[in-house]
Amino acid sequence: MKNVVISGYCRSPFTPANKGLLARVRPDDIAAQVIKGLIAKTGIDPHDIEDLLLGCAFPEGEQGMNVARLIGQLAELPVTVAGATVNRFCGSSMQAIHIAAGAIQLDAGEAFICAGVESMTRIPMGGFNYMPNPVLYQNYPEAYISMGDTAENLANQYHLSREEQEAFALLSQQKTYTAQLQNLFADEIIPITTPQGPVDQDGCLRPDSNAASLAQLAPAFQAAGTVTAGTSSPLTDGAAAVLVCSEEYADRHDLPKLARIKAIAVSGCAPEIMGIGPVAATRKALQRARLDLDDIDIVELNEAFAAQTLAVLKAMPIPMHKLNIDGGALALGHPLGATGARITGKAASLLSREGKRYALATQCIGGGQGIATILEAIK
């Protein structure tokens, strides 16, 4: 079997939907700039790229019409580079990486751009024309459960107090802010040109958050609930991209090699507790990699909600020093289609930066799923 490597990773700044600096930029324009940036950064000859696989959770409107192909054209990729839009909701761009890895191992291409984008300003969650199936809704309403309700369900099921959730959210804010102050995002961010000038800083962070201010927020989803805006990832605009190629190709062209893909997995779970999805997916991936959870040195676990992340940690204990060491989505934001590429690319670059051996990137997915990728350092 061919080895598959992550050769490069970058992303746009992540900015809050509606009020952030990317709100007035089309998502296809954000993604195209990130992809151009990835090509420049890695130095790959774009003619060698087989396909642009782009994740997007609500591929309609400005994200519609097989937007992957259109973004390839906006990014001025050679006409020979194909394009496909991938949708597994929040797992979309991690799924794009999985598809590329499978294709490389089948000799169906040597280099792929695996990207993701979401403008939660310009395309609302649920899309412009949300049309649930009435029969499914009647027989199995959980299929359409709102994300906030799933977080409340996990908080109840795992007895997660509001205080615990807020303490976790605060920690995420602090880690993310520290990383920003230490300039640890600088080499992954591609500045985005906007009519109002270039944007090169993440905008969702709330460094002024504190326990008292978080405690004052009203419940966001259920009057008697514990989940607030402060313990939920914010609606975010942004894009991310990784370059996935065979290790042979990287060696032949002297491209960087951040990490090898060791194992991948997806798994379904009950939709009403979709946030627990990473547990089953991770267990599958660990088994396929013949590793134990303890063998993992670095974990990028997407923080959709504090309650959701804490529930996963209860079922699958991960020491805090290994978890989201540059912060997470509660502070950084969660542009649905882009997050999978961000956390996989981030995990790969952390392996190099921290000099560790194994990394795990995993996330939960609306509708009741989990997705996981295990990476191995290249000595």
Partner 1 sequence: MNIQQVAVIGAGVMGASIAAHIANAGCKVMLLDIVPENAGDRSVIAKTAIEKLLKADPAPFMHKDNARLITPGNIEDDLAKLSEVDWVIEAVIEHPGIKKSLYQKLDSICRPDCIISSNTSTLPLRLLVKDLPESFRQRFLISHFFNPPRYMRLLELVSSKDTRPDLLTAVSRFADQSLGKNCVTCHDTPGFIGNRIGIYWTLCGLHEAIELGLTVEQADAAISLPFGIPKTGIFGLLDLVGLDLIPHILTSMTQALPQSDAFHQLGSLPPLVQKMIADGYTGRKGKGGFYRLNKQHGGKVKESIDLRTGEYAPSVRPDLSALVEAQKQGFQTLLSHADPAAVFAWRVMSKTLSYAASLAPEISDDITAIDAAMRDGYNWKFGPFELLDQIGAGWFVDKLQAESLPVPALLASKQPLYKAEAGKLHCSGFDGTYRPITRAAGVELLSDVKLRGAPVLQNRSASLWDAGDGVACLEFHSKMNTLDMEIMELIRQSIDKVQGGFKALVIHNEGENFSAGANLGLLMHTIAHQDWAGVAQLITTGQQTYQALKYAPFPVVAAPSGLALGGGCEILLHCDAIQAHAELYMGLVEVGVGLIPGWGGCKEYLRRWLTLPKRPGGPIPPVVKAFQTISLATVSKSAVEAKELLYLGRNDGITMNKLRLLSDAKAKALALAENYAAPQPAVYPLPGKTARVMLNMGVKAYHVLGKATDYDLEVLGQLARVLSGGDTDITQPLTEEQVLALECEAFVELVKQPGTLARLDHMLKTGKPLRN
Q: Which is nearer to partner 1, 18 or 128 (CB)?
A: 128
* Strand segments (E) across 217-258: 236-246
CB of 340 within 8 A of CB of 97?
yes
Q: Which of residues 197-236 bind partner 1 (CB under 8 A)?
A: 219-225
List the interface residues with partner 1, window 150-169 (CB under 8 A): none
Closest distance to partner 1 from the beta carbon of 142 (Å): 12
Select the residue interacting with partner 1 from 18, 66, 80, 133 (CB under 8 A): 133
Nearer to partner 1, 58 or 185 (CB): 58
47, 59, 101, 377 from 86: Cα distances, Å: 22, 9, 14, 27
Pattern of binders to partner 1 over 109-128, x per CB under 8 A? Answer: -------------------x
Phi, psi angles (nearest 5°) of residue 75: -85, 5
The sign one gets for the Cα dihedral 324, 326, 327, 328 is negative
Ranges of beta strands (E only) in the chain are 4-11, 15-16, 49-55, 82-86, 111-119, 192-194, 197-199, 236-246, 259-268, 298-301, 358-365, 369-376
Nearer to partner 1, 225 or 335 (CB): 225
Amino acid at 285: A
Task: Catalogue the active-site residues.
Answer: 90, 334, 364
Contact 108, 65 (CB under 8 A): no
Among 80, 146, 161, 193, binds partner 1 (CB under 8 A): 146
Is 140 among the residues that bind partner 1 (CB under 8 A)?
no
Min CB(55)–partner 1 separation in Å: 23
Answer for which of 48, 149, 200, 354 binds partner 1 (CB under 8 A) is: 149
Alpha-carbon span 16 to 376, nearest angstrom: 33
Closer residue to partner 1 in complex, CB, 222/352: 222
Task: For the CB of residue 368, give the shortest distance to partner 1 in the complex, in Å.
Answer: 17
Contact set with partner 1 (CB under 8 A): 128-134, 137, 144, 146, 148-149, 219-225
